[in-house]
Structure 1
Amino acid sequence: MRRRRFVAGAIGAVSGIALGTVPSAAVKPTPAGTRNRSPVSRAEGWQAVPAPGSTPAAQLRRIAAGPGLAWAVGEEGLAGPSRGRGLAMQWDGSAWTKTDLAHLSHTRLTDVAGVCAAFAWSVGQPAGTGSPLLRWDETTWRETAFPGMNETGVRLTAVAVGPDRRVWVSGSRGGAARLLSGDGRRWRWLDPLPVASANLYRVFLRAPGEIWVCGDQAAGGGWSGLVARWDGAWTVLPPVPGLRLGLADVHAAGPDDVWAVGTEAGVGGPPGRPGNPSLSHWDGTAWTRVEAGFVAGSLTGIAGDAQGRAAWISGWNYQDQSRSTYLRRDGGAWTLARGPVGAAPAPYLNDVTAVRGTTGFWSVGMTSPVPAPPTEAYTERLEA
């Protein structure tokens, strides 16, 4: 069952929603369903970095980065009825270069992960049956074989790579959500997630052998947020509170310090109605809802700092689209932060990631919130 999600492009006129001015204040955890003051908005040194060469409409969905290198993936050529084609870019320490994917037929690359210039992985949306698992060969992306490759109903949705170069891929096979694990040569599917009608959208590796996933699950005619941990067996946390909530990312500093972000669709509304940003914290006992600082939009990704703590969240603020939107961890609170002015007409961020081994960060998305021409791929950087 594939549920409706408020992702990039699901935007339009808003009706029946009060969109007022957001006051300034710091945000601290509050019980689910309560209100809190909104965070202070301030500039944080993010700079737009040109990512030339994409064919409108285009967007970058995910990014992985290390010192002097990065990979970003998404889709381009979304014009009229076109399903588009996969888009991949590489950062060489000084500029982004579009990667030639003429040998691939995939309509979208959905995630990317890597540890060095010779070891990176991506997954994509198939043009036919089966999802592709792609490996970077230091020049371009190539398909690699895995159990269930080209099998009808197999879908790969996200990927993570550990410092031991173990690869973890979320997806589904045989009608159940699962993890695929391997070292590049040998692969195996792990036990199914013990949740009916679940979709997984992100994989987070906290430590070798401890993998977290997030997504959504069927609930009472709608869906709720799903977070689970694999450490040799599945542990499924209670559903994240929210009305038709889909989670885009999860970050775990420990079993009692887990953050989940996403978009709450709510009770519905006119076509194109934006959802509501959702930020929740697990303390080992219960989920606590935290105010995001704006009421219409989305939260799309989380990045940790050098100590493994959640540090930055990427998002989209429907109420103020003049520049990109972030939440920054400031002690025990989250603070609303903004990107550069005038860098793009109305930038939409899909992801944020730390630059491994440094204190820098990258974010990616598109130059406007609607994936239609002339929208192009977009990146921002926060240097150490």
Structure 2
Amino acid sequence: MRRRRLLAGAIGAASGIALGPVPSRADGPALRAEGWQAVPAPGSTPAAQLRRIAAAGPDLAWAVGEEGLAGPSRGRGLGMLWDGGAWTKTDLTHLNHTRLTDVAGVCAGAAWSVAQPAGNGSPLLRWDGSTWREATFPGLGEPGVRLSAVAVGSDRQVWVCGTRGDAVRLLHGDGRRWRWLDPLPVTGANLYRIVVTAPGELWVCGDRSTGGGWSGLVARWDGAWTVLPPIAGLRLSTADVHAAGPDDVWAVGTEAGVGGPPGRPGNPSLSHWDGTAWTRLEAGFVAGSLTGIAGDTQGRAAWISGWNHQDQSRSTYLRRDGDTWTAVRGPAGAAPAPYLNDVTPVPGTSGFWSAGMTSPAPAPPTEAYTERLDIGR
């Protein structure tokens, strides 16, 4: 079942159009500057946004999304490459995709993306050193096959979330040989993110139908599926998950609530699994969304990207302070009202990248946007 997706800029887009900007509360005590710096990502055609970002190291990163969203246009795929000094736009004129939805990579020879097609099929893309090229896999071209997320392990094994045969499954391979794994034992599920925690062990997240709405979904694959209890909420979707262990799992997302006028913003959702039950925590702001979560060099959840509807003058993050999360601000004046879709660590350093768009509405003149926290190598 496919429902209107409340992730990766969708809520920001709706609220930005219907409600307009909210006066800044720049001096609020809950938010403070934290060292994030805006990094230009030039070349995108408005309206544009980066949906996902992945780093192989300080001198190599990829960011993907969409551009050219104007009027009735469905847009086209957008790719950016970081070479250690600057972002450059990747030539994707050979592809016929309306967006690139996810990206993962551990080196130049092991980087992958998934895309949304303009027609039938669901592309799996491989980085060839200068651009993205379509790769073959079992099920390519079948009408019911859709790929939604991708991850690459340190062993270069590739894991893809997808749908085949009316069931949510994982596609696993090494770039040459592929196989579809057993279906996720949940009906009415959508998966938005896949994260590798160890060779052969990974976590997925998304949402699941509850009949009159949906709840947050988190599951683990280690040769068989383990599905955690639903994260209860009023139309709650999980955008990202971080697992330091089976009893230390963090999930972030957005709770759409009971409805309301068109464009009403949702509420950020922050939940922790202790091995027994989910606990919902306060995010530090009440209207907006949480979109991504990234771990530190010790594997602990460290940073969360988000969007605070009530203070749009800068980007918003949550930073881990011991056992609590503190809301912090991005750089001032870097964009009119930046919206972040993702955050990721930079291997070999204690730094991080985030990516999104220069305003919460993917309509002109919105452009691709990135920020970096450069803590050092």
SS in 1 for 2:190: strand
Which residue identity does 1:173 align to in structure 2?
R
Counterpart pick for 1:64 among 38, 54, 67: 54
Matches of 2:135 and 2:14, distance apart in 1: 33
Does the Cα contact within 8 Å between 1:22 and 1:293 map onto a contact in 2?
Answer: no
Which residue identity does 2:301 align to in structure 1?
A
Matches of 2:142 and 2:348, distance apart in 1: 38
TM-score between the two structures when normalised by the length of structure 1: 0.93
Unaligned residue ranges in structure 2 (runs of 5+)? none
Q: What's the counterpart of residue 171 of structure 1?
A: 162
Matches of 2:26 and 2:268, distance apart in 1: 14
Kindly provide the CA deviation profile for residues 250-285 of structure 1, in whole angstroms up to 9, marking residues without a partner as x: 000000000000010100011111110000000000
Deviation at residue 20 of structure 1 after TM alignment: 12
Deviation at residue 129 of structure 1 after TM alignment: 1.3
Q: What's the counterpart of residue 225 of structure 1?
A: 216
Does the Cα contact within 8 Å between 1:72 and 1:89 map onto a contact in 2?
Answer: yes
Matches of 1:23 and 1:381, distance apart in 2: 22
TM-score between the two structures when normalised by the length of structure 2: 0.95
Q: What's the counterpart of residue 35 of structure 1?
A: none
Aligned length: 368
Matches within 5 A, 1:1-384: 1-7=1-7, 8=9, 9-11=13-15, 12-13=17-18, 40-65=30-55, 66-384=57-375
Cα 1:93–1:20, aligned 2, differ >3 Å: closer, same or farther? closer
Kindly provide the CA deviation profile for residues 181-202 of structure 1, in whole angstroms up to 9, marking residues without a partner as x: 0000000000000000100000
SS in 2 for 1:300: strand
SS in 2 for 1:43: coil
Does the Cα contact within 8 Å between 1:5 and 1:265 map onto a contact in 2?
Answer: no
Does the Cα contact within 8 Å between 1:13 and 1:272 map onto a contact in 2?
Answer: yes
Aligned-residue CA RMSD in angstroms?
1.8
Matches of 1:153 and 1:23, distance apart in 2: 50
Matches of 1:121 and 1:369, distance apart in 2: 27
Cα 1:49–1:24, aligned 2, differ >3 Å: closer, same or farther? closer
Matches of 1:363 and 1:61, distance apart in 2: 10
SS in 1 for 2:137: coil
- Which aligned runs of 4 or more in structure 1 are off by greater than 2 angstroms? 4-7, 12-15, 19-25
Deviation at residue 210 of structure 1 after TM alignment: 0.8
Which residue identity does 1:216 align to in structure 2?
D
Deviation at residue 24 of structure 1 after TM alignment: 7.0
Matches of 2:181 and 2:321, distance apart in 1: 38
Does the Cα contact within 8 Å between 2:26 and 2:311 map onto a contact in 1?
Answer: no
Deviation at residue 21 of structure 1 after TM alignment: 7.5
Deviation at residue 41 of structure 1 after TM alignment: 1.4
Which residue identity does 2:156 align to in structure 1?
R
Unaligned residue ranges in structure 1 (runs of 5+)? 26-39
Does the Cα contact within 8 Å between 1:22 and 1:294 map onto a contact in 2?
Answer: no
